[in-house]
Amino acid sequence: MRTLCASTLIGEFFVIGFAGLVAMKNPELSMATVWTVCGIAMLLSVLLCGMITRPGGVQLGWALQIGLIASGFVVPMMFILGAVFAGLWWASVHYGRKVDEAKAGFAQQEAAGAAAPGSEA
């Protein structure tokens, strides 16, 4: 799960940065505001790569997805990109867990095979 989720989060890191560049063109927003918000979101996406297997990591990832979609109120294209990344996040978590379960099952079978008498390779 960690690899799939981290890949999604790194993709989001770049999308958030590019969205910040677009948001700078909004005359109602100061550059400091844009880069403070984008910087926090970008930092969170990178930190989540290492925290994904810890308790609350997936939930923080979902919070980031909601924030990404909500950023569409500033940069309208982010409604679409946020929804795409939310779908990728769901797929990363869902299929990542399945892969982890399969790996654990294979490791358990291998350990059971190695412990059985007369199972020399």
Query: What's the half-sphere exposure (Cβ side, CA atoms, 13 Å) at 2?
Result: 7
The span from the first CA to the last CA of the chain, in angstroms, equals 31
| Helix-then-strand count for the chain, H and E | 4, 0
This prediction's pTM: 0.83
User: Structure tokens of 26?
Assistant: 């909004």
User: Structure tokens of 75?
Assistant: 């940069």
- Residue 65 CA to residue 60 CA, distance in Å, equals 9
pLDDT digits (tens, 9 = 90+) for 85-112: 999 999 999 999 999 899 889 988 888 8
The whole-number average pLDDT for the span 47-73 is 94
